[in-house]
Each structure stands twice: as C-alpha cells, then as structure tokens.
C-alpha cells in the first residue's frame, strides 16, 4: 500500500467535524469544526506540511452564511439558472443555490479537502453539487454561467484583486455576480449595489467577534 498524506479525507472530515446547522441558515446541515486551531494543527500533522492555509472548508464564513441566507430568501436570483460558486469552501452557498432552485451548480475551490467536504455536505442536504478543483481564475469566466456567486474572498490583497477583476469580466460577459462580504480589508468600496445586510452569528475563535455585520452585493 502506498504511503501518503491523509489517505481518506472523507474519514478525516467525519472524524474531526460534526454535522450542524450554520446559525444564519438553520435549514442547512454542514460538517463543521467548532474550533480552528485543533483541526488546522491536525491537518498539518497528518499532511506532514507546515504553513498550510487554514481549513476554510471546515467553517461557514460570515460572507457565505449571508449569501446563502440571501439566496434562500430570494430564490428568483437563481431559480432555473446555471450557477458557479467560486471559492466554495464547505459548499454552503452552492448548496443554498440548489435549495433555492438553481438548475445546476458548479462549485470551485483549490483546497485539496473541498471535493470531499462539499460532497459530504451536499449529501447531508440531499443536494447534488458539481465540483472542480481547477483554478478558475486562470481562464476567462465560464461563458455558460448565468450567475456567479463568491462569498468571503477578499481576505488577502492579491486574491481579492484577481477575483474582483475576474468577476468584473464575468459581469461584462453577461453574468449576474453576487458577493457576500463582512467588510474584509480588501473588499472594494465602489462598483457594487447593496442587496441585503445581516448580522451573522460567528465565533470569537474565528473572527474575534460574536456577530459580523455582513453585506450581500451585486456587481453593478
Ligand atoms: C474564507 S473561505 C470562504 C469559503 C466559502 N465561500 C464561505 O463563505 O464559507 C475562502 C475560500 O477561498 C478558496 N480559494 C482561495 N483561492 C481560490 C481560487 N483561486 N480558486 C478557488 N477557491 C479559492 C479557499 O480555499 C477557501 O476555501
């Protein structure tokens, strides 16, 4: 048998998270961790690599909870549409889009755990989400997408700049672009139409706050 890092990612996710409802979308169930440090440390130990990014897939970020809430309450945004959820993490937004009536949803993320995390979370909600680990930013936005969703993607400057340019290209090609963001440092301050604002419950462990005021925006 070949030795390798975390041979069974699905088992790792099941062993280190629990099925729970994100507080702002109680109708969904996701396999989520309760604290960042233990699962981050375990991932690094098991993979034998240090300096890995946090296990984003194990949390429902404020931007994702807000955008998911917005879609569940405004299904007309996605009903019958072909949707891409860029940087899906746990898949919360992709699953909400399907629940709201999207015809099909492609979720993308470059984190090696996301394929299994999204599959497990989709299963838990009886949803069927397509997934790609390709870096969609390396090509023009998929022309077949009617709606592109992106939640909590402005936490690092180079990523935020690249994603926003890619999302503007998608908008120029005719897609509706919806973004959930809790005021991250690199979220642009112009060119956006506000659609909703929520007070999203989060944890001090994750955000150093119990509530994050979080907006949902359309690229104008
Ligand atoms: C803060 S998390 C947000 C996850 C989810 N959208 C939510 O709101 O819960 C950011 C996510 O962006 C992903 N990411 C970073 N660069 C990416 C890229 N080029 N393509 C796809 N996903 C990317 C990370 O792996 C991570 O899962």
Nearest CA to ligand 1 atom 25: 111
Cα 191 from Cα 44, distance rounded (Å)? 39
Task: Note the helical H segments in 19-76.
Answer: 36-47, 62-73
Give the span between the Cα atoms of 159 and 126, in whole angstroms.
32
Give me ligand 1 centre to Cα 76, in Å: 25
Residue 171 has pLDDT above 70, yes or no: yes
Q: At what angle do helices 114-124 and 9-16 cross, to 10 degrees?
A: 60
Residue 189: pLDDT band by 50, 70, 90 thresholds? confident
Instruction: Name the 3-class secondary structure at 181.
Output: strand
Please state whether the predicted TM-score (pTM) of the whole model is above 0.75.
yes
What string of DSSP letters covers 115-160? Answer: HHHHHHHHHHTT---EEE-S-GGGSPPPTT-SEEEEES--SSHHHH
Q: What mean pLDDT comes out for the span 105-125? A: 97
Model confidence at 116: pLDDT above 60? yes
Angle at the Cα of 176 (from 215 to 58), degrees rounded to 5?
50
Checking DSSP bridges between strand 130-132 and strand 147-151, what pairing results, if any?
unpaired
Q: How many residues does the chain have?
A: 220
User: Residue 47: which pLDDT band, with cuts at 50, 70 and 90?
Assistant: confident
Quick: pLDDT tens for 95-105. Answer: 999 999 999 99
Centroid of ligand 1 to alpha carbon of 92 (angstroms): 11
Percentage with pLDDT > 90 across the chain: 90
Task: Give the mean pLDDT of the chain.
Answer: 95
- The pLDDT value recorded for residue 94 is 98
Q: Ligand 1: which of 62, 87, 133, 201 to mutate, judged by most atoms within 8 Å of the beta carbon? A: 87
Q: How far is the CA of 1 from the centre of ligand 1 (A)?
A: 32
- What mean pLDDT comes out for the span 18-47? 95
Distance CA 43, CA 219 (A): 35
Residue pLDDT, tens place only, 134-155:
999 999 999 899 999 999 999 9
Over residues 104-126, the mean pLDDT reads 97
């Amino acid at each position: 048998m070949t030795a390798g890092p975390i041979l069974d990612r699905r088992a790792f996710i099941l062993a280190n998270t629990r099925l729970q409802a994100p507080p702002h979308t109680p109708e969904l169930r996701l396999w989520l961790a309760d604290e960042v440090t233990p699962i981050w440390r375990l991932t690094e130990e098991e993979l034998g690599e240090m300096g890995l990014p946090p296990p984003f897939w194990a949390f429902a970020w404020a931007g994702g909870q807000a955008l998911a809430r917005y879609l569940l309450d405004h299904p007309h945004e996605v009903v019958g549409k072909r949707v891409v959820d860029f940087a899906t993490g746990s898949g919360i937004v992709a699953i909400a889009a399907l629940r709201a009536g999207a015809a099909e949803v492609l979720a993308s993320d470059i984190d090696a755990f996301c394929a299994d995390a999204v599959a497990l979370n989709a299963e838990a909600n009886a949803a069927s989400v397509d997934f790609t680990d390709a870096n969609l930013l390396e090509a023009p936005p998929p022309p077949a997408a009617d709606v592109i969703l992106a939640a909590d993607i402005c936490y690092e400057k180079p990523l935020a700049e690249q994603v926003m340019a890619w999302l503007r290209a998608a908008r120029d090609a005719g897609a509706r672009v919806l973004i959930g963001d809790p005021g991250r440092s690199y979220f642009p301050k112009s060119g956006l139409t506000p659609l909703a604002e929520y007070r999203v419950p989060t944890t001090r462990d994750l955000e150093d706050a119990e509530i994050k005021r979080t907006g949902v925006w359309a690229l104008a």
